[in-house]
């Protein structure tokens, strides 16, 4: 579990009373899945954070399209030992009790300085639903509903809906996460990503009758962020009435291609564009970003770009970066790290006018977190799919921070 604890610490320094989730919480419905299939044919994972009236996340919902028959995907959950191949967190699996459709088991992940333990149960219903509960663990309690939908003879749509209650975890994790809704949401999504991607990886190997193995990634990562089409935004727009939407794209080898967050903002598109065009706004409401210095700007260089530097302040290490901010077309704002610890990272704001007082903000990003520091490199090596969750988590916090600034004007 070392990887997840490191991830928690990273999140806390980056962006320095939820109830135990159950089946009554909002989930992806069958009609939701039908609406999402066209999107899932072009994007690896689609997610929705359902938000309550106070702005607190109620549930995280993820969907992915797996190239395997439904029976193949469902049968993975009949054997707790398979959870080790979903994530190496789940070691020392020991069945404590079982019935025809229920398994109760314990697990542990032991390290030199700490041990993480837990007790889970899973109830299976036909080949269409599995209810997984983390009854007790060092990282908190949780309840998740997994549903399996056929998409033709060769594909399965898997959805996971639920929430990990970090307030029921050990004191260290509660201290790190605190009561920040952004932190709680980011942590849940980070965990959800490496679980659902681990399931997909294992199921597709099972379908090909390949030997089981812990998941690995290879090949290229990143690239130039691509904006969403009008058609995709139209398909996803109804989900924005329920919360925040996010997409994750991977390359063939499993490395992160780009992470995308979509949010409705109560601000005109023009105001939001002006907000994200000003470097000084990037340190407002985000404690880790500081010491922004303007190197050059259109006013003194007559260019359509701003060069500036910033620091990312952590307790255990510091990151610095020189960045370039440009407006390539009217509704886009591109931010790139041109050198420093974040070199090669790219963030693209896509702002679509919805009305005179509201806009749809789409925030695309790529960052090779493994290259930023030895700690992050070690973290991603232990859990390769965590790079997706780390970038997505930082996206979520950034969007919420800039939304707060734009809506306050």
Q: Which pLDDT tens digit goes with each residue over 246-274?
A: 999 999 888 899 999 999 999 999 999 99
Determine the average pLDDT of the residues in 360-378: 82
CATH code assigned to 2-207: 3.30.530.20
Say whether pLDDT at 210 is over 90. yes
Cross-strand partners of 63: 46, 159
The answer on pLDDT for 219 being more than 60 is yes
Cα–Cα distance, 354 to 88 (Å, whole number): 44
- Higher-scoring residue by pLDDT: 388, 155: 155
**The pLDDT value given to residue 17:** 28
Q: What's the pLDDT score for residue 176?
A: 53
* Domain at 230-408, CATH class: alpha beta
Average pLDDT along the chain: 83
At residue 41, the pLDDT reads: 94
Angle between helices 2-14 and 386-408 (to 10 degrees): 20
Give the model's confidence band at 21: pLDDT under 50 very low, under 70 low, under 90 confident, else very high: very low
E strand intervals along 138-184 = 141-151, 155-165
Q: Measured between alpha carbons, how far is 392 from 399 in angstroms, rounded to an integer?
A: 11
156 neighbors 121 (Cβ within 8 angstroms): no
pLDDT tens figures, 266-321: 999 999 999 999 999 998 878 778 889 999 877 655 567 899 999 886 655 678 99
Number of residues written out for the chain: 409
For residue 376, the model assigns a pLDDT of: 72
- Residue 371 pLDDT > 70: yes
Given this model, what pLDDT does residue 90 score? 77
Fold agreement between 2-207 and 230-408: yes
Instruction: Tell me the pLDDT tens digit for each residue of 153-187.
Output: 999 999 999 987 766 555 555 555 556 666 677 77
Closest Cα partner for 226 from 362, 367, 387, 41?
362
| This prediction's pTM | 0.86
What percentage of the chain exceeds 90 in pLDDT?
A: 47
Domain boundaries, the chain: 2-207, 230-408
- The proportion of the chain whose per-residue pLDDT surpasses 70, expressed as a percent, equals 84
Check pLDDT > 80 for residue 203: yes
**Listed residue (147, 143, 150) closest to 165, CA to CA:** 143
Element at 44 (helix H, strand E):
none
pLDDT of residue 163: 85
What is the model's pLDDT at position 117? Answer: 85
* Average pLDDT of the segment spanning 115-142: 86
Average pLDDT score over residue span 109-131: 83
Strands 318-326 and 305-313, bridge-based pairing: antiparallel
**Rounded to 5 degrees, what are φ and ψ at 349?**
-90, 130
């Amino acid at each position: 579990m070392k990887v997840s604890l490191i991830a928690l610490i990273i999140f806390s320094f980056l962006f320095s009373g939820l109830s135990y989730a159950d089946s009554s919480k909002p989930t992806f419905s069958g009609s939701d899945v039908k609406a999402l299939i066209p999107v899932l044919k072009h994007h690896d994972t689609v997610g929705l954070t359902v938000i309550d009236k106070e702005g607190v996340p109620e549930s995280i919902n993820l969907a992915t399209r797996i190239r395997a028959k439904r029976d193949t995907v469902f049968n993975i959950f009949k054997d707790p030992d398979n959870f080790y191949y979903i994530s190496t967190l789940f070691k020392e699996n020991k069945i404590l009790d079982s019935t025809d459709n229920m398994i109760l088991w314990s697990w542990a992940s032991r390290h030199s300085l700490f041990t993480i333990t837990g007790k889970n149960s899973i109830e299976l219903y036909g080949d269409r639903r599995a209810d997984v509960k983390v009854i007790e663990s060092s990282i908190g309690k949780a309840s998740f509903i997994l549903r399996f939908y056929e998409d033709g003879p060769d594909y399965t749509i898997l959805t996971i809906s639920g929430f990990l209650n970090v307030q029921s975890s050990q004191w260290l994790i509660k201290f790190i996460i605190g009561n920040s809704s952004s932190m709680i949401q980011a942590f849940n999504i980070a965990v959800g990503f490496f679980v659902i991607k681990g399931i997909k990886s294992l199921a597709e190997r099972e379908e090909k009758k390949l030997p089981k193995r812990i998941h690995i990634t290879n090949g290229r990562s990143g690239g130039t962020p691509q904006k969403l089409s009008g058609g995709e935004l139209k398909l996803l727009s109804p989900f924005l009435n329920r919360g925040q939407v996010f997409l994750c794209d991977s390359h063939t080898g499993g490395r992160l291609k780009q992470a995308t967050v979509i949010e409705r903002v109560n601000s005109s598109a023009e105001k939001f564009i002006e907000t994200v065009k000003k470097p000084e706004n990037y340190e407002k409401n985000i404690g880790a970003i500081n010491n922004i210095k303007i190197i050059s700007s259109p006013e003194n260089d007559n260019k359509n770009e701003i060069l500036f530097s910033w620091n990312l302040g952590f307790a255990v290490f510091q990151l610095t970066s020189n960045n370039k901010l440009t407006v390539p077309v009217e509704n886009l704002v591109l931010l790139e790290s041109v050198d420093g610890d974040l070199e090669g990272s790219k963030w693209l704001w896509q702002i679509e006018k919805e009305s005179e007082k509201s806009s749809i903000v789409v925030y695309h990003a790529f960052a090779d977190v493994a290259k930023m520091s030895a700690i992050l490199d070690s973290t991603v090596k232990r859990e390769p799919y965590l790079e997706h969750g780390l970038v997505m988590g930082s996206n979520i916090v950034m969007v919420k921070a800039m939304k707060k600034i734009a809506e306050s004007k």
